[in-house]
Amino acid sequence: MKNLQRPALLLVLLIALLLQACQTVGNRAGETRVDGATLYTNHCAACHGVRGWGGVGVPLALADFLKYSSDEYLAMTIRVGRPGRVMPSFSYLKESEVQAIVRHIRDWGPKSPPYIDKVVAGDPAKGGLLFDEYCAHCHGKEAEGGAGTGVSFSRPRHMMIIPPALNNSGFLLSATDEMIKHTITFGRAGTPMKSFRRKGLRRDDINNLVAYIRSFQRQLPPEAGVIIDSTSPVLSVESPYSMDVTIERIKRILADNGHVMIDDWPADRKMADRDQVFFVIKDIYFGNLDAINGPLSLDPRMGLFLPARITLMQQMEGKVKVMMPNPEQYSAIFNNSSLNKMSRIMYEQYQAMLSEVVK
Ligand code: HEC
Ligand code: HEC
pLDDT tens digit sequence for 130-162: 999 999 999 999 998 887 655 555 544 445 788
> What number does the ligand 1 atom closest to the CA of 93 have?
38
Cα separation values, 104 from 40, 133, 190, 300, 302, Å = 8, 38, 21, 27, 29
216 and 248 co-located in one domain: no
Residue 221's pLDDT band (cuts 50, 70, 90): very low
- Asked if 161 and 258 sit in the same domain, the reply is no
User: Within this chain, do residues 148 and 41 fall inside the same structural domain, yes or no?
Assistant: yes
Tell me: pLDDT of 13 over 90: no
Residue 271 belongs to some domain of the structure: yes
CA neighbor of 47 nearest in space, from 90, 92, 76: 90
Q: Does the beta carbon of 165 sit less than 6 angstroms from any atom of ligand 1?
A: yes
End position of a domain, from candidates 187, 220, 253 = 220
Inside any domain, residue 339? yes
pLDDT digit string, tens, across residues 197-217? 999 999 999 999 999 999 998
Q: What is the CA radius of gyration of the chain?
A: 27
Pocket of ligand 1 contains residue 86 by CB under 6 Å: yes
**130 phi, psi to nearest 5 deg:** -65, -40
Supply the pLDDT for residue 282.
80
In whole angstroms, give the CA distance from residue 8 to residue 196: 57
Report the distance separating Cα 190 and Cα 151, nearest Å.
12
Residues 6+ apart with CB under 8 A from 152: 56, 160, 162, 300
Q: Are residues 261 and 319 in the same domain?
A: yes
Residue 320 structural domain:
234-357
Give me ligand 1 centre to Cα 48, in Å: 7
Same domain, 164 and 238: no
Q: Is the peptide bond before 295 cis (omega within 30 degrees of 0)?
A: no
Protein residue with least CA distance to atom 41, ligand 2: 135
pLDDT score of 37: 95
Please check whether residues 261 and 189 belong to one and the same domain. Answer: no
Is 226 part of any domain?
no
Distant-in-sequence, close-in-space partners of 317: CB < 8 Å, separation ≥ 6: none
Strands (E), the chain: 234-239, 260-261, 269-272, 278-287, 308-315, 320-325
Q: Which one of 220, 242, 273 terminates a domain?
A: 220
Q: What is the pLDDT of residues 75-112, one digit of tens each?
A: 999 988 888 778 888 888 899 999 999 999 999 999 99
For residues 65 and 154, membership in a common domain is answered with yes
- Give the whole-angstrom CA distance, residue 173 versus residue 214: 10
Cβ(81) – ligand 2 distance below 6 Å: no
Ligand 2 pocket: which of 131, 133, 138 to mutate (most atoms <8 Å of CB)?
138
Domain of 349: which CATH number?
Answer: 3.30.310.70
Q: Which position has the higher pLDDT, 194 or 156?
A: 194
In whole angstroms, give the CA distance from residue 245 to residue 265. 15
Assess if residue 113 is contained within a domain: yes
The residue contributing the CA closest to ligand 1 atom 34 is 44
Q: Tens of pLDDT along 271-285? A: 555 554 556 778 888
Is 260 within a domain? yes
Average of per-residue pLDDT values in the chain: 81
β-bridge partners, 106: none
Least confident range from 11-25, 175-189, 330-344: namely 11-25
Point out the domain boundary residue: 175, 195, 220.
220
Would the pLDDT of 3 be above 50? no
Q: Is the CB of 151 under 6 A from ligand 2?
A: no
Count of domains forming the chain: 2
Same domain, 250 and 328: yes
Mean predicted confidence (pLDDT) in 118-129: 96
Same domain, 263 and 314: yes
Does the pLDDT at position 29 exceed 50? no
What is the tens place of the pLDDT at every residue in 296-329?
887 777 777 788 888 888 776 778 889 888 887 7
Determine, yes or no, domain membership for 3.
no
| d(C-alpha 31, C-alpha 34), whole Å | 8
Residue owning the nearest CA to atom 37 of ligand 2 = 135
